[in-house]
Structure 1
Amino acid sequence: MSEASIVVQPPRGTGGRRVTIHGQIVGLAYSDRDLAEILRRAGIEESVAEDMVAGDSQMIEWRGGRAHHYKAA
């Protein structure tokens, strides 16, 4: 089981990926910019959130599909 507290779920059929933090749904991201904004709204400082997304932080687990890819296959 993953230690990541932030999980980006597989792309949905309509595009976008559901984001959970500690199992709680916090938003739907259609881009890395959306993901950083969701993390910011969850209380993570903006620059830290952007660095986490851009730097492939181990705190973020990408499930199904490639990391940073938001369109359904």
Structure 2
Amino acid sequence: MNEVNQVTIIFTQIKHNSEGKVVEHKRRFSNINPLVSNDQIKSFRSIIERISGEEYDKVEIVKTESLI
């Protein structure tokens, strides 16, 4: 099985501007421990939301793994 080398988490906040268009604001956190669990990511999200005062609509996880 391939080994995950790097994990990046992207939090996305979706808002509407004054013209009614959808605008996405993203926060990216890279170099996360490759052994991170989904529960740890949810906890991290809630901590960042409390610190920043923002609420995120979407959480994306990008995992990089070696094939050889």
Pick the TM interval, shorter chain.
Answer: 0.3 to 0.5
TM-score, structure 1 normalization = 0.34
Q: TM-score, normalised by structure 2?
A: 0.36
Higher RCO structure, 1 or 2 (CA under 8 Å, sep 6+): 2
Which protein shows a greater Rg?
2
Structure whose residues are more often strand by fraction: 2
